[in-house]
A and B are shown apart, each in its own frame.
Chain A
Amino acid sequence: MIAWTIYITFAGALLLLFLPQVFARWIALLTTIAGLALGLAAFFCTPIPDLAHFTTIVRVPWISALRIDYHLALDGVSLTMVLVTGISAVSTVLFSWDVEHRQNEFFFWLLLVVAGCYGVFLSANLFLFFVFYELVIVPKYFLIAIFGSKNKEYGAMKLTLYSFFGGMFVFIGILVAYMTAGSLDLNQLAQFQFPRQLQLWAFPVLFLGFAVLAGIWPLHTWAPTGHAAAPTAGSMLLAGIVMKLGSYAGLRVAMNLFPQGFQLWSKWIAVLAVIGIVYAAAVALRQSDLKFVIGYSSVSHMGFVLLGLSTANLLGVSGAVLQMFSHGVIAALLFAVAGRMIYRRTRTRDLDALAGMNLSHALPFAAFTFVIASAASIGIPGFSGFAAEITILIGAWKTYPLAVGITGAGMVLVAAFTLRALKQSFFGEAGSGLGRIQEGRAALGPDWNEEQSITVAEKIGACLLMFATLAVGVYPKLLLDRIMPAVETMRFLKSGG
């Protein structure tokens, strides 16, 4: 059933190539809603015990020359990721409602990214996994290079080359695993005892390859550039889902296949993760471009995911998965506000310029959304960010107490740059009185009219994301109940003792 998320999305993408432009956004919306509905149905209908193991959904022979099967499977971790993909995809389409230029093509590439992400999260064959993994990247190039804003060609090329640079290492790791174990089936590989000597070098090759996409320091520089250059939908997808592909793959493939290699290298991952959290937050504090601020905040938040993974204990890894979900939603929300609600109306993302506009009066809904998003991003209790990060930190406390201390300082920086961005962009000058409303609108330009206020599509998209972060923040058990059993059965925990 859930396999249809992939097929429907591909079919929608194909349909877009043949139908006239008037249908484009509706097809995209219906396709993504169908994907989300399937994800939700699976989420609530699959009995929780079934989600503890990577259970096969579809398995048919595919390439006989190499004995490769078309094999999809599902467990709690992948279901969580499918769900966040669905949520982000729907809101992304809603936030791209106004794309006028080459509309069919835009939604075609967008749906390809989404379909590829579904594919990655569901595949249980390493070859299939890698096909989807690489498939995601090229549409991103087109999305950014054609539809992006400032510096788009540079950003697109940088992102693509970085991603494929990582892909090169992943390719080697996959080939080595395949040749040693003689199988590409993830469940079989997860049982196979790889020689220790091999694990020691194959693990970092594979994990680093994946971590490039997750924005690990110091290979993160593509992320802010790419996020800033991308169109709103592009940054939402990129930060929301595509970066998660890297961390999900690190968990599902690298850590699960090479547990001994992981044990040896986990402390180095933790070091890189902590540097990433603090460094990116510090850099974000000095950015003047709002999208760059959010771009660096993504790197910082992904650092939490990597830190959680590196703990190798149940709480830390589950927290990491929860953080993937939470950041997927929050990053999408932040980019939606910055790229769509602000930039499209003011034509600027410069924080100093925005400070003079006092947008909170002109765009009250945008201000409200940004406040919620910032609160979630900082990790205020009640939002998903808090639930995820606290779980990660508790997990990390057992393994790396020092890291928790440094990360705590990093969280202060996160709060600092988020509040700075919030204040500069929406609450630029302290003031009161009704006159402010007129002033704010005047700043938006002489052609201001009511049409420029937040549209219904935008409101629905924002509400969807805000609801997701609140629901998980208030009741994280909803996800954790499904994530933790799945994490518990993974191999690196057992051998970790």
Chain B
Amino acid sequence: MSYLELLKLASPEAIVVITALAVLTIGLTTGREAASATVSTAGPTRNAGSSSSTRSAALCSFVAALGLVIAIGAVLMLPRNATLFGGMLVITPLTSLFKIICIALVFFTLLLTTSEKSLLHPGEYLAIVLLATVGLMLLVGSEELLMIFIGLELLGLSLYVMAAFDKNDVRSAEAGLKYFLFGSTSSAFTLFGISLIYGMSGTTGLAAISAKLATASVQPLLAVGVVMTLVGFSFKIAAAPFHLWAPDAYQGAPVPSAAFIASGSKVASFVVLGKIVLVGFAPVHGSAAWHGMVAGWSPVLAVLAAFSILLGNLVALAQSNVRRLLAYSAVAHGGYTLIGLVAGGRDGFSAALFYTTTYAITLVGAFGVVGFVRRDTGGDDLSNFSGLYSRSPLMAGSMAIFMLSLAGIPPLAGFFGKFYLFSSALRASPGHGLLWLVALALLGSFISLYYYLMVIKFIFVDKRAEPEIDHRLPITDHVLQKSAISLIAAAVLLLGVMPDILAAQILAAIP
């Protein structure tokens, strides 16, 4: 295979890397002195920002957004199927679809970044976001454990920096540190698990592992390897009891970073986790049916799912900060999504992917609104949301759509996602074996309704707006961000009314 051909097949990744470098250069040449001048003169008034740094930030965002759009174009130009280096990099309809979804999610995250004033060096920040995007694309587009690990590390390291990017906020530093400590531990677990599996099967390609495992009997060492790998990924998707980093990271990290962690990172992790368990570990599926538990990875995931759903929803009830609330609800939603993987098969995988995609879209939007409220009122507690309706009906309406979709209210995307997930789980288990998990998930989503309604109550019903906000005029700037958020809200509604747009695509892409 010639290098030219290789470059063609890897062109989306290459384009994003080049964009990252370009953005970094632009940021360095145009924004550096302006930003440092603002910091040295007056720390507190940095929010005012000088016009040159604003211009630099706008330029960087524009270039980054352009690069992402071109990358989507490049993905569309790829051939339908291709395999490079024995599965190191594969191109299938599934990988192409999810590369596009990930890039689109990052694109919307970028739009949130445009009005985020706490980021001192937008060029560097955006470059890291783009590098994380490459990590997402590598994760999605590989069927080989080593490459997957490299993708995970590239994504992880970028995210640690993104979480800690707000140098003036001690919470951001805390978020970055916690995320880093937990993340590196989980990487160690994953790597250890992968090495054990390699030791057992003598290969790192997922399909080859599957073939090897099918012939060999299940040994304790293999079980350790599988569980270790799953534990590593559970950290990534914040499944309880490996979720401890999530609340602090969601609350402390700059809003776009939190949105990235909750959306793109989650989608890619679920895609790759699904591929590992459903392709690589297919022979040791086991069964999580109530009366017929068989050892394998699916009971492990089922227990993780059950635990996440219960813990995430119950703890979220007690939160007074919206970002923490979203973090705990993310734990619960991770649990719901795992049900699809537990069910397995084409249907289950497709349902899990549909759910995690719509969830990610919803969360990007929700974080957009959180960022909006944060700029407006200086905080993101529930009380900061009170009276949002009178300040910006559009944002209030969008947030209501996001919250109700998360709660699983029709006709929004979250409802169909849940229906799809639960029906695939029941179909996969003869004799309604997974009914226990589905019933638990339904109970969880019933509990979740309460705290989502609380957010809505603060937005629409409460009038206890703080005095200084009362005198302010309704915010009319940030047109770009507002239109992006309302676009996402419209997408959530559309995906609920016409879920076929996405569901049929995903189902068709899964072999």
Chain A contact residues, CB within 8 Å of chain B: 62-66, 127, 130-132, 134-135, 137-138, 141-142, 145-146, 153, 157, 160-161, 164-165, 167-168, 171-172, 175-176, 178-179
Contact A168 B423, beta carbon cutoff 8 Å:
no
Contact B419 A127, beta carbon cutoff 8 Å:
yes
Question: A65-B507, A161-B450 in contact; A175/B422 too (CB < 8 A)?
Answer: yes
Q: Please name the residue on chain B nearest to A135 by beta carbon.
A: B410
Contact A64 B504, beta carbon cutoff 8 Å:
yes
The answer, among B410, B445, B460, for a CB contact under 8 Å with A145, is B460
A residues in contact with B167, CB < 8 Å: none
Contact A63 B416, beta carbon cutoff 8 Å:
yes
Contact B453 A160, beta carbon cutoff 8 Å:
yes
Instruction: Check if B500 is an interface residue, CB within 8 A of chain A.
Output: yes
Contact A63 B499, beta carbon cutoff 8 Å:
yes
Least distance between B69 CB and chain A CB atoms (Å): 28
Contact B432 A179, beta carbon cutoff 8 Å:
yes
Q: Please name the residue on chain B nearest to A147 by beta carbon.
A: B461
B residues in contact with A157, CB < 8 Å: 450, 453, 457
Main secondary structure of the interface of B (DSSP, over half): helix
Bound together, the chains give a CA A164 to CA B418 distance in angstroms of 15
Instruction: Check if B455 is an interface residue, CB within 8 A of chain A.
Output: no
Least distance between B126 CB and chain A CB atoms (Å): 35
Enumerate 25 A-B pairs (CB-CB under 8 Å) in ascending A order: A62-B500, A63-B500, A63-B503, A64-B503, A64-B504, A66-B419, A131-B410, A132-B410, A134-B410, A135-B409, A135-B411, A137-B409, A141-B453, A142-B460, A153-B457, A157-B450, A157-B453, A164-B449, A167-B446, A168-B442, A168-B446, A171-B419, A171-B442, A172-B442, A179-B423
Lowest 9 A-B CB distances belong to which pairs? A131-B410, A65-B503, A179-B426, A168-B442, A145-B461, A168-B446, A134-B410, A65-B507, A63-B500
Main secondary structure of the interface of A (DSSP, over half): helix
Bound together, the chains give a CA A161 to CA B500 distance in angstroms of 30
Bound together, the chains give a CA A64 to CA B442 distance in angstroms of 24
Chain B residues 428-461 with CB under 8 Å of chain A are 432, 435, 438-439, 442-443, 445-446, 449-450, 453, 456-457, 460-461
The answer, among A134, A168, A175, for a CB contact under 8 Å with B415, is A134
Instruction: Check if B420 is an interface residue, CB within 8 A of chain A.
Output: yes
Contact A66 B410, beta carbon cutoff 8 Å:
no
Contact A64 B500, beta carbon cutoff 8 Å:
yes
Bound together, the chains give a CA A137 to CA B426 distance in angstroms of 26
Question: A146-B460, A172-B442, A176-B432 in contact; A131/B415 too (CB < 8 A)?
Answer: yes
Contact B350 A168, beta carbon cutoff 8 Å:
no
A residues in contact with B499, CB < 8 Å: 63, 65
Residues of B in contact, count (CB < 8 Å): 33
Instruction: Check if B117 is an interface residue, CB within 8 A of chain A.
Output: no
Contact B432 A131, beta carbon cutoff 8 Å:
no
Bound together, the chains give a CA A142 to CA B411 distance in angstroms of 16
Q: Please name the residue on chain A nearest to B411 by beta carbon.
A: A131
Least distance between A62 CB and chain B CB atoms (Å): 7
Instruction: Check if B404 is an interface residue, CB within 8 A of chain A.
Output: yes
Question: Interface centre among A66, A130, A168, by most B CB within 10 Å?
Answer: A66
Contact A179 B409, beta carbon cutoff 8 Å:
no
Q: Please name the residue on chain A nearest to B425 by beta carbon.
A: A175
Contact A145 B443, beta carbon cutoff 8 Å:
no
Q: Please name the residue on chain B nearest to A133 by beta carbon.
A: B410
Contact A130 B504, beta carbon cutoff 8 Å:
no
The answer, among A135, A137, A153, A175, for a CB contact under 8 Å with B423, is A175
Known: A134-B415, A161-B449. 16 other contacts (CB 8 A): A65-B350, A65-B420, A65-B500, A65-B504, A65-B507, A130-B410, A131-B410, A131-B415, A145-B457, A146-B460, A164-B449, A167-B446, A168-B446, A175-B422, A175-B426, A176-B435
Bound together, the chains give a CA A207 to CA B411 distance in angstroms of 23
Question: A131-B410, A131-B415 in contact; A66/B461 too (CB < 8 A)?
Answer: no
Least distance between A144 CB and chain B CB atoms (Å): 10
Instruction: Check if B32 is an interface residue, CB within 8 A of chain A.
Output: no
Question: A64-B500, A145-B460, A178-B423 in contact; A160/B449 too (CB < 8 A)?
Answer: yes
Contact B461 A146, beta carbon cutoff 8 Å:
yes
Contact B439 A172, beta carbon cutoff 8 Å:
yes
Bound together, the chains give a CA A252 to CA B274 distance in angstroms of 40
The answer, among B350, B423, B446, for a CB contact under 8 Å with A165, is B446
Bound together, the chains give a CA A175 to CA B441 distance in angstroms of 13
B residues in contact with A172, CB < 8 Å: 435, 438-439, 442
Least distance between A177 CB and chain B CB atoms (Å): 11
Least distance between A433 CB and chain B CB atoms (Å): 47
Instruction: Check if B427 is an interface residue, CB within 8 A of chain A.
Output: yes
Q: Please name the residue on chain B nearest to A141 by beta carbon.
A: B453
Bound together, the chains give a CA A135 to CA B457 distance in angstroms of 18
Least distance between A105 CB and chain B CB atoms (Å): 8
Bound together, the chains give a CA A164 to CA B503 distance in angstroms of 26
Question: Interface centre among A62, A132, A142, A164, by most B CB within 10 Å?
Answer: A164
Question: Interface centre among A127, A130, A141, by most B CB within 10 Å?
Answer: A141
Contact B409 A153, beta carbon cutoff 8 Å:
no
Question: Interface centre among A65, A132, A138, by most B CB within 10 Å?
Answer: A65
Q: Please name the residue on chain A nearest to B426 by beta carbon.
A: A179
Bound together, the chains give a CA A138 to CA B456 distance in angstroms of 11
B residues in contact with A65, CB < 8 Å: 350, 420, 499-500, 503-504, 507
Bound together, the chains give a CA A207 to CA B461 distance in angstroms of 33
A residues in contact with B504, CB < 8 Å: 64-65
Contact B461 A138, beta carbon cutoff 8 Å:
no
Least distance between B159 CB and chain A CB atoms (Å): 32
B residues in contact with A135, CB < 8 Å: 409-411
Bound together, the chains give a CA A127 to CA B410 distance in angstroms of 10
Least distance between B420 CB and chain A CB atoms (Å): 7
Contact A66 B423, beta carbon cutoff 8 Å:
yes
Question: A138-B409, A141-B453, A161-B450 in contact; A168/B443 too (CB < 8 A)?
Answer: yes
B residues in contact with A167, CB < 8 Å: 446
The proximity string for B residues 374-395 relative to A, scoring 1 for CB distances below 8 Å and 0 otherwise, is 0000000000000000000000
Least distance between A194 CB and chain B CB atoms (Å): 13
B residues in contact with A176, CB < 8 Å: 426, 432, 435
